[in-house]
Chain A
Amino acid sequence: MRARSPAVLALVLLTFSGSVAVWAQQRGGGPARPAREAAPIDLTGYWVSYVTENWRYRMVTPAKGEYRRIPVSPAALTFINNWDPAADDRAGNQCKSYGAGTIMSVPGRLHIAWQDADTLRIDTDAGTQTRLFHFSVRAAASAPSWQGESSATWERANGPDGGGSLRVVTSNVRAGYLRKNGVPYSERATVTENFDIAPLADDGRLLLVTTTVDDPVYLTGPYIVSPHFKKEPDGSKWDPTPCSSTW
């Protein structure tokens, strides 16, 4: 009978160590797996914008000079009031309103797929942009670009049923517009995004992208929006359209 006491203790330790192992694995302990294998949520596939918010600022081009709900700095006002889409056209800057700071709010479709085991790729049909989310460490690119450099990490849910979120931080962007009518963000802007999935009726799925734009030049505080997308069964409605300065 005396052996039962250590047995109880061993049972407790076993249970505890098992839980710790699961806990550690959930938090990235143990050997690193490629991001594709470690994904707690599946973002791949075709998604379509469902524009129920900020309709007037996204589906049509707002009036020149309007910047409601964006915490712009005084330095931005000059740009806002002097917005000239023809000048952007002439300078080859038609994609200024399709950059990383705003592309997820542009109505259109996304195609999300793994480019390789540690790089998630998002293509947009509106403006035909490509974003690459790197899970592995990379040297920074030399020249800024519309979509900048994005580093990605999985954030695992603190629960037994799995799940989680994708966090993406983007910098090294070309200066662009938060809205089509010339509300600017600068090359010093940083875009932080969290991609979450929620279920919809009839096995549908919703992608929610909480987006925070910080810009020490043209914003007085973070600009935060959360556009969302519905999952589509395939790419049959994919319709690439080029960037436009006015539409």
Chain B
Amino acid sequence: MLINLVNSRASRLATRAPRFGRFIAESLIRNSCRTAVAVVLVLLTAGRASAQFDMLGSWAPLGSEDVQNDSVPVDYLGLALTDEARIRALSYDESQKSMVERQCAGWGASYMVLGPFGLRVTSQTDPVTNRVVSITIAAWEDWNEMVIWMDGRPRPSENALHTQAGFTVGRWEGGALAARTTHVKAGFIRKTGVPLTDRATIDWRFFRHGDIMTVLMVATDPVYLVEPEIVSKGFRLSRTPLDYRAGCVTGYEGREPGDSVPHYPPDQNPFVDEFVKLYHLPREAVLGYLETLYPEYRKKIKDTYVPPPPCTDSCGQAGNFVVRR
């Protein structure tokens, strides 16, 4: 409509030009008016929808923070679980992974920051407007790709299909990419069986400072988390592209439909004290009680904590480090 107005105005202006140059003048005026309108539109909308930093490319994980907590079966450090969640987690037996319907449960959306892998980020644009429609973080082994819709599309109905990756919409805000994931399938927030329901939402913030991108995850679950699980993880821009890996694909691993679900009675999990004994940790911390996440707890255990004996084996260098250049 705006372009039509420009066209009609250009025609009126051109009628006053000398006859021999009318065609050229009309074309010039029309084009310059179109350009002017385009410039104004671009200026008015710049920043409102455009990227506030470039996040495309490959980002290698830094690995200098322990956020995975999956080296032993029972390690719920850093979580604020409800009693229901704790009971379900303690009933988990890793053999459940042999069941087709449970194989991918450990690699939900949250595994983007809880897993050990990097991020391969691409964007998809509208071929006509050249505006970004979506940003995609590629799959990596069992983690399925995440598509962040940037075109303002509405969320699907609550009753729409819930998937491993969920449905994610994003927008640029305050210098960061802010996104929210809903419609996740019930699964785990820690791949060792700590549950997350399909009512969970995950808020993301992507901050870039130089070659470092920090991804902040705030996972909320009204059933299994007393307070949100907040994790931030650093990535560094990689000069070499990360490999492509397929997402989680289920396969037959010996269990038939109707077979029993491998599990432990929650009070008989044989691994409940493995981590406690290994590092002399308080049991309530290992089992994910809320109070253990705040500084007051440190003061509470000060007089009872006994450090483990000096480390003699595998004492360092786990993680993906950036070599000084």
Give the B-binding residues of A (Cβ under 8 A).
1-2, 4-5, 8-9, 11-12, 15-16, 19, 41, 48-57, 59-72, 107-109, 126, 155-165, 167, 194, 196-198, 200-201, 206, 208, 210, 212, 216, 219-226, 228, 237, 239, 241, 247
Contact = CB atoms under 8 A, between A and B. Distances in A.
13 contacts: A41-B174, A48-B295, A53-B232, A60-B301, A71-B322, A156-B175, A163-B175, A196-B205, A206-B216, A208-B207, A210-B209, A224-B62, A228-B232
B324 A220 contact: yes
A160 B62 CA distance: 31
A210 B234 CA distance: 8
Interface in B9-68: 9, 12-13, 16, 29, 33, 36, 39-40, 43-44, 46-48, 52-53, 62-67
A208 B316 contact: no
B153 interface: no
B242 interface: no
Contacts of A219: 324
Contacts of B316: 66-70, 72
A159 B228 contact: no
Contacts of A161: 173-174
B318 A68 contact: yes
A94 to B, nearest CB: 15
A211 to B, nearest CB: 9
A194 B101 CA distance: 43
Contacts of A157: 52, 174-176
- 3 closest A-B pairs (Cβ-Cβ)? A163-B174, A157-B175, A52-B78
A237 B294 CA distance: 11
B295 A53 contact: no
A108 B16 CA distance: 76
B212 A54 contact: no
B207 A225 contact: no
B307 A62 contact: yes
B308 A63 contact: yes
B62 to A, nearest CB: 5
Contacts of B216: 198, 206, 208, 226, 228
A68 B317 CA distance: 5
B307 A61 contact: yes
B295 A126 contact: yes
Given A53-B66, A57-B66, A69-B63, A221 B324 contact: yes
Which of B12, B218, B281 has the most A CB atoms < 10 Å from its CB?
Answer: B218
B234 A16 contact: no
Contacts of A201: 220, 228
Contacts of B39: 12, 15-16
B288 to A, nearest CB: 10
B285 interface: yes
Contacts of B79: 52
B175 A159 contact: yes
B307 A55 contact: no
B156 interface: no
Q: Which of A4, A161, A224, A225 has the most CB of B within 10 A?
A: A224
Contact of A107 (B280, B281, B295): B295
A228 B66 contact: no
Give the most central of B53, B212, B301, B314: most A CB within 10 Å. Answer: B212
Contacts of B315: 65-68
Contact of B78 (A51, A61, A167): A51
Interface in B208-257: 209, 212, 214, 216, 218, 220, 228-234, 236
A196 B309 contact: no
Given A53-B67, A157-B174, 14 more contacts: A50-B230, A52-B231, A55-B292, A56-B77, A60-B279, A60-B280, A60-B301, A64-B307, A67-B315, A67-B317, A159-B175, A163-B174, A200-B218, A210-B207
Given A56-B281, A221-B323, A226 B234 contact: yes
A44 B36 CA distance: 44
B297 interface: yes
B287 to A, nearest CB: 13
A4 B9 CA distance: 10
Interface in B275-325: 279-281, 285, 292-299, 301-302, 305, 307-312, 314-319, 321-324
Contacts of B46: 19, 160
A228 B230 contact: yes
A71 B317 contact: yes
Contacts of A109: 295
Contact of B293 (A9, A50, A70, A158): A50
B53 A5 contact: no
Contacts of B214: 194, 196, 208, 210, 226
Contacts of A8: 33, 36
A56 B324 contact: no
Nearest to B209: A194
A55 to B, nearest CB: 4
A240 to B, nearest CB: 12
